[in-house]
Each structure stands twice: as structure tokens, then as C-alpha cells.
């Protein structure tokens, strides 16, 4: 006989003839059947162990079944309320009630992201593509600008750093967010407002002549270019940018004075403390639009931007001057506006939905709202 692999003569098998052939076949059949039986039994036992039928627990670590089920559904922070004992151990500040305390409100915990920075800095200069395209369409421009070059020049004029550090469990940073509603007039909140660590004001917001109701102390003033005004040296100017040209303007207003017009006249030069200028982060802007106002209106109002800014840098947040006055008028505390309901009719902001968010935050114990007069 010839071996088909080696093409060389093959030695006769021991035992010879038909009897040797039958012996060889018998051994091969036994080996094959034994292998099949082993595979079958192994498969049977493995399948039974996965169903828990034979208790082969050493195949799986403890809790494997539970962890496997959990992976099939989203996992949200604050998906259950903490017990009072757990909540006391989870305190994030030294105030009686702290914004960052988990387990108080499922709705708040599911939407609140403590890791997103409200300030645009050198460290988070890159915007995600979805954030960038959403932001640049808020106020489209005819003249293109390179955002990276604009920011590079801007951060040569201002620090480009966030002054807000990590949470300190022993700290109680109390913040007043002061809106411009006419319900401040006659409310007498001035001393209460001034008693906060941070007092945050919005756009024009005069204090001279309104100290008794609106207070006189300001630490943060939030404005966009078209509403900007000069500020005292100890006040942080937080720029709320809606377009790249706004960043070009603040760089110019603090240096060369080249920009005098955006879509409206703007201050050519601005007297503010350069070291205290901060830029509102577009990613934080979109976070509020996505998570909190839920795309109601084209974008959130400046009041909502400031409120959530405070919720991310403060331990306790108290709110003044939001909403209508007692007669339902939406006007500023320093003026009598014949068109007091126009804010609700522009279609840019959804005032009613934003009011619901404020009420829900108050109900969750995350803010205290002072209703005014």
C-alpha cells in the first residue's frame, strides 16, 4: 500500500489481514463515540449551570445574574431616594440644604451634571461639533471668524481660567440670583440680598436709587455685548456670548476699541476689571437648553442661564426678582413698561415653561424663591 501523504511504501499493520482491519476500525469508532459523548455531556452541564439547574456557582462570580440584568437598562444617578441617614452622610456643603446633595430629588439628580463647567476657559476651549453648530446658529454672522484664533487672542487679554474650585464639604457659599422683575419694587429685599456671598445681576439692572428693594452689592454681572455697561473694579463681568463676534468685541472693548457694532451699537471701550472677566461656556448654554428647558423656546433666557450658573458654583441659591409682578405685568423694576407682556410673546423664550422649572426647583428644595410684591 502507498501512503497518499508521503507517497512511500507503508509497513504492514500488526495482526495483519481482515482481523487487523476490524480491530483498527473498532478502536476508531470507540474513540469517536467517546468524544461525542464527552462533548454532549459538557454542553448539557454547561447549559444547565447557566439556568441554575445544577448549581455550578463557581462558573460565575456572586451577583453575576444581577449585574447582567442591570446592564440592560440605563443607570441614572439618583434613581432612588436616599434614606435620611444616607442623605446626612451625603452632605456636600456646610449649609442646612446644599444644591449638590443627592437623593433629594430624582428629577434633579437625573438632569444635574456637576462636572460641566459654566465658564469657558483655556482648559475646555474645544467645543463638541453639535455644541458648536447649535451655538453659531443662535445669531448667524455674515463675516466668518476662526473661533480658535479669536479665543487665542481673547485669552491673551483675560485670564481664561475658572475661579470656581471643587466642592468643599465644609463650605457654605450663599448666592443671590437677582432678576429684573417689577415685583422687586416695594419688596424691601435689599438687606437680604446684600447678605449673600455672591450677588448675581443681569443686563442693565441698576442699583443706585433701588438699594432698599434690590440691594447695592454685586459680585457677578451677566451681560451680552448689546447690554454691556461699565462695572466697578470688584465685580466679575460674565460675558454671555451668542456668536463669535461677541468674543471679538470683548477682546476689542478691553484693548483696541475697533468694534463698535454687532447687530446693534455696542460700547467701543468697556471699563471693567480684566482679571475678573469670565466667558459663559456655550457647552453649558446647550446643557441648560437640552436638560432643563427641554428645547422650549429657541434658547433659554439670560435669567435661566444665570440661575443654573449659580446652581453649579454655589452651595445655597436664593432667587429674587423673577416672574411677573402681583398684577401679572412683566416689566423691569426700574421702569413702567407699556408692553409688559412682550417677553412672553417673542417666541424666543418660553417664559411659562421657565416659570415651571423654577417652581419645580423650589419644590425640590434646590432654590428658595422670594416672590416679591
CB 150 within 8 A of CB 243: no
**Helix pair angle (302-313, 351-363), 10° resolution:** 20
Catalytic residue selected from 217, 220, 221, 349:
349
Classify 349 as helix, strand or coil. strand
Catalytic residue selected from 198, 299, 331, 333:
299
String of DSSP letters for 49-91: HHTTSS--GGGS-TTHHHHHHHTTS---TTSSPPPHHHHHHT-
State yes or no: is 299 an active-site residue: yes
State yes or no: is 224 an active-site residue: no
346: closest CA among 308, 301, 304?
A: 301
String of DSSP letters for 193-205: HHTSSEEEEESS-
Alpha-carbon distance of 302 to 47, in angstroms, equals 60
> Please, which contacts does 12-21 make with residues 24 or more away whose CB atoms are closer than 8 Å?
none
- Which residues sit in the known binding site for substrate? 139, 180, 203, 263, 299, 303, 323, 332, 349
Residues annotated as part of the active site: 299, 349
Amino acid at each position: 500500500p502507498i501512503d497518499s501523504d508521503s507517497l512511500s511504501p507503508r509497513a504492514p499493520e500488526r495482526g495483519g489481514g481482515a482481523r487487523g482491519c476490524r480491530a483498527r476500525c473498532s478502536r476508531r469508532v470507540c474513540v469517536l463515540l467517546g468524544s461525542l459523548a464527552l462533548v454532549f455531556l459538557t454542553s448539557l452541564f454547561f447549559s444547565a449551570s447557566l439556568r441554575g439547574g445544577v448549581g455550578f456557582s463557581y462558573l460565575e462570580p456572586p451577583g453575576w445574574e444581577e449585574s447582567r440584568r442591570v446592564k440592560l437598562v440605563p443607570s441614572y444617578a439618583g434613581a432612588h431616594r436616599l434614606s435620611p441617614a444616607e442623605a446626612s452622610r451625603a452632605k456636600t456643603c456646610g449649609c442646612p440644604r446644599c444644591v449638590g446633595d443627592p437623593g433629594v430629588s430624582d428629577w434633579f439628580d437625573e438632569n444635574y451634571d456637576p462636572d460641566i463647567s459654566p465658564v469657558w476657559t483655556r482648559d475646555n476651549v474645544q467645543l463638541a461639533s453639535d455644541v458648536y453648530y447649535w451655538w453659531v446658529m443662535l445669531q448667524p454672522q455674515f463675516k466668518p471668524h476662526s473661533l480658535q484664533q479669536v479665543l487665542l487672542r481673547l485669552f491673551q487679554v483675560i485670564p481664561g481660567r475658572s475661579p470656581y474650585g471643587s466642592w468643599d464639604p465644609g463650605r457654605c457659599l450663599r448666592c443671590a440670583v437677582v432678576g429684573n422683575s417689577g415685583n422687586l419694587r416695594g419688596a424691601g429685599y435689599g438687606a437680604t440680598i446684600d447678605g449673600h456671598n455672591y450677588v448675581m445681576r443681569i443686563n442693565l439692572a441698576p442699583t443706585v436709587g433701588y438699594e432698599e428693594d434690590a440691594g447695592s452689592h454685586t459680585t457677578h454681572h451677566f451681560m451680552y455685548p448689546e447690554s454691556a455697561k461699565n462695572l466697578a473694579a470688584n465685580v466679575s463681568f460674565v460675558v454671555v456670548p451668542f456668536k463669535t463676534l461677541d468674543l471679538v468685541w470683548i477682546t476689542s472693548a478691553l484693548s483696541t476699541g475697533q468694534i463698535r457694532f454687532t447687530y446693534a451699537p455696542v460700547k467701543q471701550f468697556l471699563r471693567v476689571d480684566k482679571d475678573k472677566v469670565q466667558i459663559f461656556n456655550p457647552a453649558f448654554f446647550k446643557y441648560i437648553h437640552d436638560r432643563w428647558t427641554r428645547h422650549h423656546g429657541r434658547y433659554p433666557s439670560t435669567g435661566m442661564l444665570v440661575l443654573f450658573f449659580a446652581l453649579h458654583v454655589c452651595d445655597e441659591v436664593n432667587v429674587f426678582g423673577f416672574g411677573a409682578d402681583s398684577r401679572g405685568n412683566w416689566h423691569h423694576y426700574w421702569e413702567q413698561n407699556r408692553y409688559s407682556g412682550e417677553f412672553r410673546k417673542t417666541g424666543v423664550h418660553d417664559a411659562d415653561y421657565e416659570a415651571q422649572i423654577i417652581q419645580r426647583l423650589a419644590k425640590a428644595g434646590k432654590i428658595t424663591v422670594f416672590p416679591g410684591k
